[in-house]
Amino acid sequence: MKLGVFLPVSGRAAVPEVLTEAAQQAERLGFDSVWAAERMVNPWEMNTRYPYKSNDTWFVPPESPFLETLTVLTFLAGVTTTISLGSAVIVLPYRHPLFTARVATSIDTLSKGRLILGVGIGWMPEEFEALGVTFKDRAGMSEEQLQIFNLLWAQERPSFKGRYYQFDPVAVNPRPVQQPRFPIWIGGESEPAQRRAAKYADAWFSYFVKITPRELAARFAQLREWAAEAGRDPGDVKLCCVRPIDVTDEAVPQEEDTLRGTPAQLVEALKPYVDIGVEHMALQFMRGRWPERREQIEKFGREVIPALRS
């Protein structure tokens, strides 16, 4: 199982020096990928619950810095050499698909084929409203974008006539280093999101705040059935996920749906994910201050990664 780590793209740590150090630390420790989260704007007033935190509350205050995801990945391409660069996840309707394609191919070229494009359809109505994008159209817009990404480099002169996007024959060059294109991982936990992943994705990129490996395996088995219904080989869709994690100094009681404990406990807690076929796991270390998070990442890299791979 490959392992990734989220970098600090928001807050006081979201500066070039910290991002460079963090990405190079991850590469040195043997992580397989680094990840940048997405927030285009932060509304001052928000009533929508945040679905990816146990208390349902969005945790980044509006006045806090938040770097743009694809810009961060471009920067990281220049300060690393081997580690994969992932977005977790960009909201498709916020950008025109041809713009996203141009930026994504640029990152894939500059990084020599290290981009993983994690995508979703978004969850915050207030952000959609601020950007002038219709919230209720986000699923339809996203599905058309996924269709476009699949034809842009499969045809010599691709064109598209959809409800939301239309363009005459175009070229988006250079072509991605990775062929037939950079991998697209689709996030989301709802049935429509899973069906979307089954139809279009190279991987389902799930993020449950709490889930057991057994429950995750059951959901993925259903997704593979939907992939077959969509006319795809179920084996073409991989299982990848995001999991929050907390490294402790002392042993703590273990819960099957939570990654928390000493390095030795985390080695045992991660093995079931390997057993169910998770191919790549991106880890969010749950410490607010970057120095404490950096320390946890270092301990995990030195003590957990080697033990898992021995």
| Res 72 pLDDT > 70 | yes
* Domain range enclosing 84: 2-309
Handedness of CA 20, 25, 30, 35 (dihedral sign): negative
CATH value at residue 31 = 3.20.20.30
The structural domain count of the chain equals 1
Residue 197: CB partners within 8 Å, gap ≥ 6?
Answer: 186, 188, 203, 204, 205, 223, 237
pLDDT in tens, 150-160: 999 999 999 99
Which residues is 186 bridged to in the sheet?
119, 204
- The pTM assigned to this predicted structure is 0.95
Query: 3-state class of 239 per DSSP?
Result: strand
Over 70: is that where the pLDDT of 54 sits? no
- For residue range 163-199, what is the model confidence (pLDDT) as tens digits? 999 999 999 999 999 999 999 999 999 999 999 999 9
